[in-house]
Chains A and B, each alone.
Chain A
């Protein structure tokens, strides 16, 4: 039972800039203020017995600005006129209407007090507040957040290309296909699991052509995209984190145990939440966000950290932007219960790490960041937004020069 709120289809085959320009976010707009005002006026007239002449007064007890209030008043005046109602002075009116612009914790509340002789009636209409949109542009890089998909239920990871949008969710994998610029649900594939999922559930989706692999705590699934199928089994197989980095995940917790696999098989680092690896000229680099709150940088060897940093968030991904030194990390902000989350680009030079972009406000909690499997210039992420919805998004970085 998924609620489709937004759908967006980026075309990765064109250049990144064109991709960003072309990207559209076909959001289903909430009811416009104008149509809400018209509907409100119609409700007033209906309650008032469709009077021919009305006296209307306004008061504002909300945070609505004077300009917005005036604009709204004019919209309502027009709605009365369009309904063939004359706006008159109180002494000439059949019905007197006092409209108050109020608000509650969730949005605006419009209240009409309708006085007709000794009879008084009320009409109350609630409207959600518009959410603000933020962006950032400074320093070496600019980070663009491109919403991909939004739904009520949790998303763990996702993949998208021109034809497919694949969502890894706690209980299923949902396959969407492109249909006239909209994603249409084609198939859902259940993920059976014997034990309850741990809290702060995480998962990883890996796509190679028609093959897909899903990694969840203690469970691994293999399947196919065309002729959809999925086979899940209890498994402690290591998860792919980043190109060249594979690690074992604690099946009853929310972190990687620190034991690495793949080309680093046998090596271990302190338990971590997130890890990345990249090649910078002749140096192999790894960074891990430890469960102890410390971020460890390793250079060429995993024997001991070359540097440690504090104050980072625990979720990060690498991005090959080509700007600056070529590689950057996109990292979430450290825990702070008074601010929404943000993502910032950080560049590692030697043993130092410095921010190279402004933090981009994410208006929610960043649940996951992964370097997109098919494009290492972009990072896929999942956000638990302040509205309570889950959002799959892509972060693309643009050089400022």
Chain B
């Protein structure tokens, strides 16, 4: 990164994400899958879980249900909607928009910094879950390809969900409410419906790309089972990503950022 303004925005965004109280919430979500793995392994060891649940299955279930369907949407929703909205709320946006920097550049740099931090966190979560789930298993090394694939998909999901929620944070007055509705209503409900509609969710395409989804053993798994190719999933996600980012750049370029206070002249 040669541009000094971009470097400044990048480091400031990272600082804001990691040196504030937000980091506690972030850390809790990162370690949540680890706690779940340990808890499930304890239950398995104690014989409380009757079904056979190997390390790979345990890990894969967690990646799909916790990391992809919960952790990544929650983290990207939390940090994405506040990417610019925090400055609006704090009244600091005029300092950014009053400087000789293209607004699209401000947004894209902030977005990149957010994706960087969240990807590192998500990778820690996925990697830790793998180690904890597979520890002691003979398949530990054999499933490293699965881990690698999961890391790629996790990074991709941060990328697209981050773009979606940062766009919603820019265009909506109450971004948290609507983002929750989209992130957990639309994404999780429509993603399970049969037919073409689920292609309008991100989760469906991300699920397609997961290297080792849990076996289709029940009705829900059958419904969720993807019928699209990985190539199509990548294309869909690429189009969504470009659409979200371009729309956000368009919106921010036209956005006003007055420095006003109640009763001011």
A, B in one complex: no
**Partner-A contacts on B (CB < 8 A):** none
